[in-house]
């Protein structure tokens, strides 16, 4: 895996204040050297309140900033509490996560996710589309069916997919410390790639500095979406370093 282009996407969820940016220089310093020899791409997705200050902190670091969700409307509108992709782009976001299971669980359906992806792409944001099955679906052995449906509906009528990355995140793995079995994960990622040629496919769910030793051996994974561990710069750096060891 050493010479592969790998993504490391930090999902801070609803965590972090301005003081959380104080330790970012550690990651920037590490990456300044690291990127010269390894093909690693780092993207931070903080809460919306931190996008602009984080963008400013990371100027010239080659680390990109993204958002965790957006409204489906491209233009301004009377949508209290919402932020559209253009607004995110204007404050420095280059990427946006769409379809995270935490948002699907609070009611986002594939149709809405499809609209969000379209308006994000139209606003020149790159999209990280999250897909994944529940434990119940896994037990019923319908994982592949669920994933196919989420991709098909999520990417409906989108011809140009070059700015889309898929993040496979089994819901039962997020925040639980449990990761899929190596052969299962290899098989699932292969399945996604076979049906979606050229798309990068990342894995997300409880990635940490210990289990990265196992995960990095799964050679069809194009990177990781990291929640909890990404809030700690030391752990985040450790995960990146170990991926290439
Ligand atoms: C996530 O929420 O996208 C995620 C992968 O979280 P964690 O790493 O904490 O399981």
| pLDDT tens column, 195-231 | 888 899 999 999 999 999 999 999 999 999 999 999 9
User: Residue 58: which residues within 8 A CB-CB, separation 6 or more?
Assistant: 24, 28, 44, 64, 65
pLDDT tens readout for residues 29-75:
999 999 888 899 999 999 999 999 999 999 999 999 999 999 999 99
Per the annotation, the verdict on 184 as an active-site residue is no
Query: Is 0.85 topped by the overall pTM?
Result: yes
Q: Of the residues 72, 100, 108, 133, which is catalytic?
A: 100
C-alpha distances in Å from residue 188, one per residue of 16, 168, 223 = 33, 9, 15
pLDDT in tens, 127-176: 999 999 999 999 999 999 999 999 999 999 999 999 999 999 999 999 99
pLDDT value at residue 35 = 87
Binding pocket residue ranges, ligand 1, CB within 6 Å? 11, 169, 174-175, 204-207, 225-228
Residue 1 has pLDDT above 70, yes or no: no
Region 111-136: mean pLDDT is: 98
Output the 3-class SS for 102-138.
HHHHCCCCHHHHHHHHHHHHHCCCEEEEEECCCHHHH
């Amino acid at each position: 895996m050493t010479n592969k282009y790998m993504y490391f996407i930090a999902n801070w969820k609803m965590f972090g204040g301005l003081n959380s940016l104080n330790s970012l220089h550690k990651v920037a310093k590490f990456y300044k050297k690291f990127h010269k020899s390894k093909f690693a791409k780092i993207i931070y997705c903080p809460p919306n309140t931190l996008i602009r200050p984080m963008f400013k902190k990371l100027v010239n670091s080659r680390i990109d900033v993204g958002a965790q969700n957006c409204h489906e409307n491209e233009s301004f509108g009377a949508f209290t509490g919402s932020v559209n992709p253009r607004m995110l782009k204007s404050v420095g976001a280059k990427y946006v996560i769409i379809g995270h299971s935490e948002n699907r669980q609070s009611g986002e359906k594939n149709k809405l996710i499809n609209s969000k992806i379209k308006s994000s792409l139209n606003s020149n944001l790159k999209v990280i589309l999250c897909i994944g099955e529940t434990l119940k679906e896994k037990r019923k052995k319908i994982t592949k069916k669920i994933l196919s449906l989420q991709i098909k509906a999520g990417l409906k009528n989108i011809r140009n997919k070059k700015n889309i990355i898929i993040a496979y995140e089994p819901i039962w793995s997020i925040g639980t410390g449990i990761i899929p079995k190596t052969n299962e994960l290899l098989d699932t990622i292969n399945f996604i790639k076979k049906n979606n040629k050229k798309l990068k496919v990342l894995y997300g769910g409880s990635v940490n500095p210990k289990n990265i030793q196992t995960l990095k051996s799964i050679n069809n994974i194009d990177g990781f979406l990291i929640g909890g561990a990404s809030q700690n710069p030391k752990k985040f750096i450790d995960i990146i370093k170990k991926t290439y060891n």
